[in-house]
Structure 1
Amino acid sequence: MRKILFSLLVICFAQGAFAQKQLVWQLLGMTTYQTDPGDSGELNYSPQFPAVLETQFEGEEVVISGYLIPIDLEAGKYALSKNPFTSCFFCGNAGPETVMELHFSENPGRFATDEYLMIKGTLQLNRNGSGLFFVLRNAEIHG
């Protein structure tokens, strides 16, 4: 009986220890921001992240689905968007809270623009006003 109980505890702990948190665009959309004109004429964005994002998701391994947007294929730069390319932040049809920067742990190869994927990685919140608000480090295709 003790062996069975011990085995169940090990299984439950292992599942909890390796489970990723599901991140949804609605939560990221709770991020507000202010814009300030920079010295070079570009707008600087100052994000204000919701407390739940900072306390429960930052630095955690998360899973999120979205549309893959290749930024620079040779440099391996990609973004994940809530919306397809024609409606995304880069086309001026959405806000900066609808896109995140991806840093793949290994070269993911080539993808078609707007391929809808589930991505796993560690969430970093970018507070410095340059770059995208959300960064997914050690990203990889999930599922």
Structure 2
Amino acid sequence: MKKSSLLIAMVLCAGSILAQGKVDMWENFAKTKFEPKYYEKLGEYLFYPTFPADIKALEGKEITIQGFYVPFAPEDGTYIIISKYPMSQCFFCGGGGPESIAEVNFAKDSRKFQVDDLITIKGKLKLNAENMDHVNFILTDAVLVSK
């Protein structure tokens, strides 16, 4: 009886540990604090991030994130934007904040996406606190995991 109870407890603990292994990067990004600072180039206030230590520890490491394709990109098309939310709720069009979007720079040419395609991307995390031409969370050398 003791052996079967121990076995059941081990299985339950293992399941709990495995469930915790999947990290929601959007939840991590949401820990970032933003403060308004004056941006000379535009002559207005913009929100600048202060990244917490656990996010700073991920910089340069490979992460996986799932998000919705948002059709916002520069004219040269070198990157795409993904959002935690569909387009109607994204940072640019709805109520999401800057922690709800990420810039994706693919290692190779990416497939073309449709608005609100839910895609999973893997890439190296780069944090951006100063260059206002780019978003705060950037994935470099990215690859499409699933569409």
- The TM-score range, normalised by the shorter chain, is 0.7 to 0.9
User: What CA distance in whole angstroms lies between the structure 1 residues aligned with 2:75 and 2:130?
Assistant: 26
Where does residue 142 of structure 1 map in the other structure? 145
SS in 2 for 1:128: coil
User: What CA distance in whole angstroms lies between the structure 2 residues aligned with 1:110 and 1:135?
Assistant: 19
Whether the 8 Å contact between 1:46 and 1:129 is mirrored in structure 2 is no
Normalised by the length of structure 2, the TM-score is 0.75
SS in 2 for 1:72: coil
Deviation of 1:129 after TM superposition, in Å, equals: 4.9
Which 4+ stretches in 1 moved above 6 angstroms? none
Where does residue 34 of structure 2 map in the other structure? 33
Deviation of 1:121 after TM superposition, in Å, equals: 0.3
Structure 1 residues 23 and 121 mapped into 2: Cα distance closer, same or farther (>3 Å)?
A: farther
Where does residue 111 of structure 2 map in the other structure? 109
Quick check: which has more Rg, 1 or 2? 2
User: What CA distance in whole angstroms lies between the structure 1 residues aligned with 2:98 and 2:53?
Assistant: 18
SS in 2 for 1:26: helix
Letter in structure 2 aligned against 1:30: K
User: What CA distance in whole angstroms lies between the structure 2 residues aligned with 1:72 and 1:23?
Assistant: 24
Consecutive unaligned residues of structure 1, counting only runs of 5 or more, are 1-20
Kindly tell me the number of residue pairs found equivalent between the two proteins: 122
Write out aligned runs for 1:8-27 (5 A).
22-27=23-28
Q: CA RMSD in A?
A: 1.9
Consecutive unaligned residues of structure 2, counting only runs of 5 or more, are 1-21
Deviation of 1:45 after TM superposition, in Å, equals: 2.4
SS in 1 for 2:72: strand
Where does residue 99 of structure 1 map in the other structure? 101
SS in 2 for 1:142: strand
Where does residue 53 of structure 1 map in the other structure? 55
Superposed CA deviations along residues 67-125 of structure 1, whole A, max 9, x for unmatched, are: 11122375223111100011000114111000011111111131001100110000000
SS in 2 for 1:91: coil
Report which stretch shifted further, 109-118 or 42-51.
Answer: 42-51
Letter in structure 2 aligned against 1:32: K
Report which stretch shifted further, 80-89 or 44-53.
Answer: 44-53
